[in-house]
Amino acid sequence: MKIVIYEDKQELFYPLTNLLPQFGLRIGMKTIAEHMAALYKPLRIDFITRPIFGYKLVESEETTLYLSSRLLPSERFTIPRVDSLLKVGNAEVGFVKTSAPFPNSTDEIEDALATIKGSKQVRGVVVNRLWDLIALNERMIDFHARLYRKKSSAVKTAYVCGKRRNLFIAKGAQVHKQVFLDAADGPIWIDDGAEIRPFTTIVGPSYVGPGTIVERAKISRSSIGPECRIGGEVEACIFRGFSNKHHDGFIGHSYVGEWVNLGALTTNSDLKNNYGSVRINLGNKEYDTGLMKLGCFIGDHTKLGIGTLIPTGAVIGSFVNFAGGGMTPKFVPDFRWLTLDKDEDYDLQKAMSTARTVMKRRNVRMSKQYEQVIRSFHGKIRRSN
């Protein structure tokens, strides 16, 4: 038996899935794909994505478990012996195929979902919309901390509040003196190669990924991916990875993509003055999230200059450069260069050059495949305009 993870309504997760397959989204301590792989190890996993990402499905005639990228299963369930839809409540989150034809494209997956009659209820949570990633993140940090529980390195330098069994510090992590770790309300997991510098407070449930440096920061109830630089205040956020918020300023209830730089004092609002439900504008439609606290969503390779203010429920696309300080628009499309008195296209070649420079600073070389993803995405934008 094997597993196929497929993209499912990935357009609902704009701008986070512009340059990233949907199953690469981070929630809790892992990406969606890593979460599934951990539950179903050692089964082989293949992927069905938009053609832009170049994944090649290995065709076979064995029983196959197809799982939606919107599903976060909470357990490894028994596989039905006949073709069956998989459901969490009324939501279709995958299916089992025991005989040919085995779908190998998104269109064929839709056909299978429409024709399979049997069904099986499974346990898990479903990420239906962009803002669900934030709403479910604390729950998933706690789930992953229990799933991957290991013996922690001794903590001799930091001040610790709460149960020490809620604290995991990898052997390769560094936690300096004058660090306060509050694990009273949830786990804190500091991964290999992370460095927590003096005068930092971390409140659980929180995760700090490999190679990330946290300096003079207050992080609460957040997931910080690999190779980030974090300072100031971060509350109830997800940083996908390789992004900078090194200076003072507040980011709350927000999702920050990869290779993002937030200039000094960049601050977002995550609460309306009337304490009402936050609405999100995705360019052509506005959505009521039903959440009282929700910040912003920032796409990959976006740069916000010093003194940037971000309104409640803002959506900022990929390859946006905002300079000059002040309030951003509530919606900024991809590849835009903005100042207080200018709004124009961000030239692709200039954007690519900056991206290469930024990635090189983290010892990452832009692959030809990733370059093609960016160029294809930019071409799609130009055609739609």
User: What is the per-residue pLDDT across 247-278, written as a single tens digit (0 to 9) for each?
Assistant: 999 999 999 999 999 999 999 999 999 999 99
Q: What's the average model confidence in pLDDT over 160-166?
A: 88
Q: At 366, is the pLDDT very low, low, confident or very high (cuts 50, 70, 90)? A: very high
Q: What's the average model confidence in pLDDT over 365-378?
A: 96
Q: What's the average model confidence in pLDDT over 203-232?
A: 98
The CA-atom distances, in angstroms, between 339 and each of 247, 327, 351 are 21, 10, 16
Distance separating alpha carbons of residues 322 and 298, to the nearest angstrom: 12
The percent of residues above 90 in pLDDT, for the chain, comes to: 85
Q: Count CA atoms within 13 Å of residue 154 on its CB side.
A: 1
Helices and strands: H and E segment counts in the chain: 6, 38
pLDDT at 163: 85
CATH superfamily placement of domain 135-384: Hexapeptide repeat proteins (2.160.10.10)
Whether the CB-CB separation of 213 and 195 falls below 8 Å is answered with: yes
2-128 under CATH 3.90.550.30, yes or no: yes
3-state DSSP helix/strand/coil percent for the chain, to nearest 5?
20, 35, 45
Q: Which residues pair with 95 in a beta bridge?
A: 66, 85
Which residues are within 8 A (CB) of 64 and not within 5 positions of it... i.e. 6 or more apart? Answer: 1, 2, 3, 4, 96, 97, 102
User: What is the per-residue pLDDT across 40-67, written as a single tens digit (0 to 9) for each?
Assistant: 888 889 999 999 998 888 888 899 999 9
Q: 0.75 cut: is pTM over it?
A: yes
pLDDT at 153: 65
Instruction: Give SS3 for 13.
Output: helix
Q: What are the domain boundaries of the chain?
A: 2-128, 135-384
Q: Do domains 2-128 and 135-384 have the same CATH topology?
A: no
User: What is the per-residue pLDDT across 78-122, written as a single tens digit (0 to 9) for each?
Assistant: 888 999 999 999 999 999 999 989 999 999 999 999 999 999 999
Distance separating alpha carbons of residues 367 and 175, to the nearest angstrom: 34
| Residue of higher predicted confidence among 141 and 283 | 141
The percent of residues above 70 in pLDDT, for the chain, comes to: 98
pLDDT of 311 over the 70 cut: yes
Number of residues that this document lists for the chain: 385
DSSP string, 339-352: ETTEEEE--HHHHH
pLDDT of 151 over the 70 cut: no
Instruction: Give SS3 for 314.
Output: coil
Distance separating alpha carbons of residues 110 and 355, to the nearest angstrom: 36
Strands 124-126 and 71-73: antiparallel
Q: What's the average model confidence in pLDDT over 63-75?
A: 96
Whether the CB-CB separation of 320 and 299 falls below 8 Å is answered with: yes
pLDDT of 154 over the 70 cut: no
Q: What's the average model confidence in pLDDT over 175-203?
A: 96
